[in-house]
Amino acid sequence: GDSVTQMEGPVTLSEEAFLTINCTYTATGYPSLFWYVQYPGEGLQLLLKATKADDKGSNKGFEATYRKETTSFHLEKGSVQVSDSAVYFCALRWNYGQNFVFGPGTRLSVLP
Amino acid sequence: DAGVTQSPTHLIKTRGQQVTLRCSPKSGHDTVSWYQQALGQGPQFIFQYYEEEERQRGNFPDRFSGHQFPNYSSELNVNALLLGDSALYLCASSLGGQGGQPQHFGDGTRLSIL
């Protein structure tokens, strides 16, 4: 079945460091891909998405490009802030349905 | 514009009991999905309701059931609670029966089983 794999955390960075969180998926075909963020005590917030190969999603300085040849959707940010500390989830979804398949999440801690 | 609201925020039950969780979708949304998020894991899809019917279901036992009301709000019921049911239960709403529409998540109900 469909699955999403993420790099294990926690990831600890200093403020203004470069961030990469790897995400790969297994699926037959080309689903839409998403990154969600979860702050402590809260639900999930959509960070960015891409619906087809080579699309780049971006929001709040975060970027991810849909790479079908490597079945990947790595999340990047050039300069992280303390406020970016959260758990990040990579997910896929098929256009004919609405349920997501989530990865296990990667906890990011940014130190001042 | 109210987002997705869930109640209660926290709940403590004992093994064997039954529990009902509630969700009000974002204004204008008619589709509700439920997810279970165990500690340290990603959310797992339980089921989705559209037009008051269960449209999709994940790999969860029949102890998990739901309902959607004419006003689109929804309930998740879990019978014969097990320790392993301890988790954050998330509700997500969206518009329409077609895929591709963005989903909005509530803050969840944290269920603890003693």
At B16-65, the pLDDT tens digits run 999 999 999 999 899 999 999 999 899 999 999 998 999 889 999 999 99
B66 touches chain A (CB under 8 A): no
β-pairing, B74-78 vs B53-57, is unpaired
Among the partner-chain residues B42, B45, B101, the one whose CB lies closest to the CB of A104 is B42
CA dihedral for A110, A47, B11, B64, sign (positive or negative) = negative
B17 touches chain A (CB under 8 A): no
At A41-50, the pLDDT tens digits run 888 999 999 9
Kind plus residue range of the DSSP H or E element containing A92:
strand A86-93
| Residue B98 pLDDT > 60 | no
pLDDT at B99: 55
* Inter-chain CB proximity B103 and A100 less than 8 Å: yes
**CA distances for A99 relative to A24, A78, B10, B45, angstroms:** 18, 31, 24, 7
pLDDT at A94: 79
